Structure 1
């Protein structure tokens, strides 16, 4: 009997092996127990939380700048206070000089593909011109040695910066505003004057962290930013006929606006409906200021960056943002008359207000006193408290870009992940939350734009698509939209809808935001947090979606009955033909009209690619369909159904 049992088991194993030959699936690979590259530490807990000794350095800025509208030049000086909270002594500091990407001999210029693209330079400047650097430390000032290498600058200190101490850098700088700044900044000519969108404008500290030390990847255009948190105070001196909007709170509106504009500005702060602060008629008539310049003063706290925009062509309107805590913020929109139509930028403040209020209620409260949407040459780019969107956008496209760029306040402005390395952690997460906000906005006015067509879902798993876990500058331009935006968003939808359920997933993602607000999470911190809060080991999921370009292909293989009698119940065999395992949803219909909806956990694939399960049917099975609601991006849907012949 024992030998007969062993022989039967061997024959069964052989038959399963033969059946599985058409499958690419490898259960040992998908469910390999080794996933995390390092255990928890005092800095980063194994549970995904910041550890008891977590640290990060701090950068505070005080900046004064002037805009020269004849030369299109920004001239400024800054006081940068850098605090070393690390356990290390720092002999030198690294700063980012992003304007150097616009030099003709920059690495960004050299590595731009021949076909051009969104991040290609269309003209060249002299980049960041550093006029002087002074270090202030231990009660003395000195001129340090420094070296500029493309978009980075290394400043050597006479004495190492000890743990828990500060140093000040006084830097004078200037640069010419490029016409098209890799779709992140620049200037647009309108009939009433130039619209300037100014970002990456002052020398910014590189991040020094516990994972890599100095993070000094060059700015090449496609990869975005990784920055330290701190408080930023800045002033912009501009011709008095210009409106300036910027990150954070405008500290002196009475000094900069006309009396009428200042009154309307105050009204907007308390109005749920959009208030016109400067109208199209007033822009067209032009302003005759009594003085040559205004100095606009801004302050934003606990932020990783600041940006601003200026133009005499700006229409300006605003409204109140209502936050869950009872606090208020101000939504502002600045746009030229070319964008002033009922279906376009006249709705910008409405869109801004709705977007901020939704995300604040759903995930984490908006932290800044204002949210500014600027129409200009930039197609879509985000900074703390201010975003740049295309002046041509209207209707669904204006909602989409506004909602997307303000969604970035949560990823990566609040949750400060490393965009230079992990675009999927900000663009992808943001695209995911955009889908939920779009569904909610104005009774679903634009929800159709959030629906991804079936063929597009499938294309995201094509053989030429780059894996998510790639540095953005390495990803092929044709693949970036998928690898950074759409596929990681689809991943989170799959995790929410097919694996965890909405309640568990939302609780875990909200906890991730709260844990890592104003901090620097790694991908592993995200993985660990979701797993620990949701209560699932998801190594198989991250392995397939993030680290590999595995496909999903679930198929109905066979339908039988116990003892070949339909009344005894059905035996349904399904197969995983591709490399990614996922839970299975099955719809079964009987000839007597009964239906069965089953949900099978991912563990059915732990031992192999084929799984047979019983169904309590009492009549012939007429139809079996996998993923009947088409929530998974199944590679080949032709094998998802079985129909009785």
Structure 2
């Protein structure tokens, strides 16, 4: 009798202690607002999140020819754009992107660069496009000089006749040149090595802005942190470089017999059949003239990349070149290759790059959608990590885990935003965050988890960083996100949001199915955040407005705790009554673990709907013995900012004789 009464006394003391918790800030009416994310659909975009029956997007096809002048440090040439207006509107003018214009002190990018510089800083270099000619062709007429203006990183061409809706075509030619910046917002640049300079060339031609059904012309200037929003089309391009250079570019090499030796072509054919990396040009061959098909002058490399939103390339006389086949689900032939320097060779460095390329691309091709390009090229250079269709730039001095990580991340961008073409200028989280999430899965799978160091398992430890003061909401324009926040709020927090959705809210099967539906629906199209939210809800069968609101739109915090523990009729053998509480504005489904005297453990799973009733929830558990502990979120799956109130223990009663 004394034991039972003393235990009840302990329970009362514990309840008194828990009652001293702060007043909840939670309001169910705010989190579960029925009108959140509740806008009518239209014929372009459906309520289910899929493209509508009259979805349209415009198209831009490119023919580009440029020459690298090493002595002058310039790229010069011409681009011809065939622009198809599939919209229902006539276009009296068109807009082009001139991203190179960011790379000087007088640009908006230069003027918004802080004194201490930064990853996207562009001070101290007088770069930008020199436009030598702009002409247009409409209908069956000839090319004629265009009426155009240039404002920072945009060019507007004002047309004498509007481009008609639903299929009319405009052709544009632009002659241009630019000085090559050494380090351009970590997107492109050049690196001097002992055997020659490595040029990584991107944003290297005037590109069409996107005209879409959401806001018409998308003309945000290129400042740096916000990346790109681009049309899809086919590319044919040629790059003329000195005779001793090796060039890697987006898409398929069209003239191997002109730019490779017969021995290199033979080795490449071997690589197309080999799971192991095959050397195309070894480190010891770099300075041998016989490793090139000619020994003087210039040489032109020709490429084609189809149904892509961009192309990039790299060139150097210093490149080591290796390759291996990729095993894609359909059996379609594709090759992985790497271009790097002799200094960075070896199994600890870039000697394993092609293995890494194969590993991640084969994984993503099974998990999401097949890799769409015939070649995947990893380039070692000055750029720390940047992605383009079929080619990525990674830091030349990366090794082991860091080289795997950057290779995996940059090639993960093949799916977001190369295949699923979201607007990176405004929604960095839709490519960086989604990609960071799939990187977790590929790293777990690669080589039996060789580099798997999942630092995102203990969400309680991450909570103070996720919910730190001054954090930016995920739905913040990248150029508005504070530089110190970009990594967390554009990359890790959205990735963790998908991880929680997969592991806690929906479960792996429902999430994976819905996520693949999103990729399938919006492959080579332009989704918005609404399209993503609606597709996940539609395919998974769950109203997730509360989730999007708390995690993506707002910086709501999560703090769940055990408030009170009682026994039915004050008798442990008749069961227990547990009250849990939600103290902050966000909520999540809940797992509560009860441990009885004697060691028996029981877990009770509660849906998020219990928090629709208010900030507390009380439930009964069929326990038989006194409780040793009650713990909410026993596996630390939730980013709870105050885990101190997550576990209840009975207060041990001490008799006067024990004092």
Q: TM-score band, normalised by the shorter chain?
A: over 0.9
Contact 1:20 1:609 (8 Å CA) reproduced: no
Residue 15 of structure 1: aligned partner? none
2:622 maps to 1:616: yes
Q: CA deviation at 1:546?
A: 0.6
Distance 2:22 2:186 in 1: 49
Q: CA deviation at 1:240?
A: 1.0
Deviates more, 1:255-264 or 1:181-190: 255-264
- Pick one of 187, 190, 197 that aligns with 2:190: 187
Distance 1:21 1:182 in 2: 46
Distance 2:37 2:624 in 1: 47
Distance 1:285 1:525 in 2: 54
Residue 120 of structure 2: aligned partner? 119
Contact 2:457 2:637 (8 Å CA) reproduced: no
Alignment of 1:72-151 (within 5 A): 72-140=73-141, 141-151=143-153
Distance 1:56 1:318 in 2: 36
Q: CA deviation at 1:284?
A: 4.2
Alignment of 1:401-420 (within 5 A): 401-420=406-425
TM-score by length of 1: 0.96
2:353 maps to 1:351: no
Alignment of 1:402-551 (within 5 A): 402-448=407-453, 451=456, 455-551=461-557
Alignment of 1:385-404 (within 5 A): 385-404=390-409
Secondary structure, in 3 states, of the residue corresponding to 2:223?
Answer: coil
Distance of aligned partners of 1:213 and 1:120 in 2 relative to their CA distance in 1, 3 Å threshold: same
Distance 1:244 1:512 in 2: 35
Q: CA deviation at 1:112?
A: 1.3
Contact 1:123 1:178 (8 Å CA) reproduced: no
| Number of residue pairs matched by the alignment | 629
Residue 5 of structure 2: aligned partner? none
- Pick one of 197, 201, 206 that aligns with 2:200: 197
Distance of aligned partners of 1:282 and 1:517 in 2 relative to their CA distance in 1, 3 Å threshold: same
Secondary structure, in 3 states, of the residue corresponding to 1:604?
Answer: helix
Distance 1:457 1:358 in 2: 30
2:217 maps to 1:232: no
Q: CA deviation at 1:20?
A: 8.9
Cα-to-partner distance string for 1:335-379 (whole Å, 9 max, x where unaligned) = 011211221100000000001000000110000000000000000
2:331 maps to 1:330: no
Secondary structure, in 3 states, of the residue corresponding to 2:326?
Answer: strand
Cα-to-partner distance string for 1:10-35 (whole Å, 9 max, x where unaligned) = xxxxxxxx999611111100001011
Distance 1:283 1:127 in 2: 33
Contact 1:223 1:419 (8 Å CA) reproduced: yes
Secondary structure, in 3 states, of the residue corresponding to 1:28?
Answer: helix
Residue 297 of structure 2: aligned partner? 292
Secondary structure, in 3 states, of the residue corresponding to 1:546?
Answer: helix
Residue 158 of structure 1: aligned partner? 160
- Pick one of 255, 259, 269 that aligns with 1:252: 255
2:34 maps to 1:33: yes
Residue 267 of structure 1: aligned partner? 270
Q: CA deviation at 1:639?
A: 0.9
Distance 1:560 1:114 in 2: 61
Distance 1:224 1:46 in 2: 28
Contact 1:352 1:373 (8 Å CA) reproduced: yes
- Pick one of 546, 549, 574 that aligns with 1:568: 574
TM-score by length of 2: 0.94
Secondary structure, in 3 states, of the residue corresponding to 1:349?
Answer: helix
Distance 1:123 1:323 in 2: 45
Q: CA deviation at 1:415?
A: 0.2
Structure 2 unaligned regions, length at least 5: 1-18, 652-659
Q: What is the root-mean-square deviation in Å for CA atoms of aligned residues?
A: 1.4
- Pick one of 201, 204, 215 that aligns with 2:218: 215
Cα-to-partner distance string for 1:29-53 (whole Å, 9 max, x where unaligned) = 0001011263110000000000000
Contact 1:555 1:576 (8 Å CA) reproduced: yes
Contact 2:190 2:197 (8 Å CA) reproduced: yes
Contact 2:385 2:394 (8 Å CA) reproduced: yes
Deviates more, 1:496-505 or 1:449-458: 449-458
Contact 1:375 1:388 (8 Å CA) reproduced: yes
Residue 46 of structure 2: aligned partner? 45
Residue 656 of structure 2: aligned partner? none
Distance 2:279 2:486 in 1: 39
Structure 1 unaligned regions, length at least 5: 1-17
Residue 303 of structure 1: aligned partner? 308
Distance 1:594 1:196 in 2: 65
Deviates more, 1:135-144 or 1:288-297: 288-297
Secondary structure, in 3 states, of the residue corresponding to 1:429?
Answer: helix
- Pick one of 588, 599, 603 that aligns with 1:593: 599
- Pick one of 164, 167, 178 that aligns with 1:175: 178
Deviates more, 1:584-593 or 1:541-550: 584-593
Contact 1:439 1:450 (8 Å CA) reproduced: no
Contact 1:508 1:529 (8 Å CA) reproduced: yes
Distance 1:138 1:418 in 2: 31
Q: CA deviation at 1:156?
A: 0.8
Contact 1:544 1:550 (8 Å CA) reproduced: yes
Distance 2:95 2:146 in 1: 13
Deviates more, 1:395-404 or 1:451-460: 451-460
* 4+ long deviations beyond 6 Å: 18-21
Distance 1:410 1:563 in 2: 58
Cα-to-partner distance string for 1:593-615 (whole Å, 9 max, x where unaligned) = 22111111000000211111110
Contact 1:123 1:180 (8 Å CA) reproduced: no
Q: CA deviation at 1:258?
A: 1.6
Contact 2:324 2:336 (8 Å CA) reproduced: yes
Secondary structure, in 3 states, of the residue corresponding to 2:286?
Answer: helix
Distance of aligned partners of 1:37 and 1:19 in 2 relative to their CA distance in 1, 3 Å threshold: farther
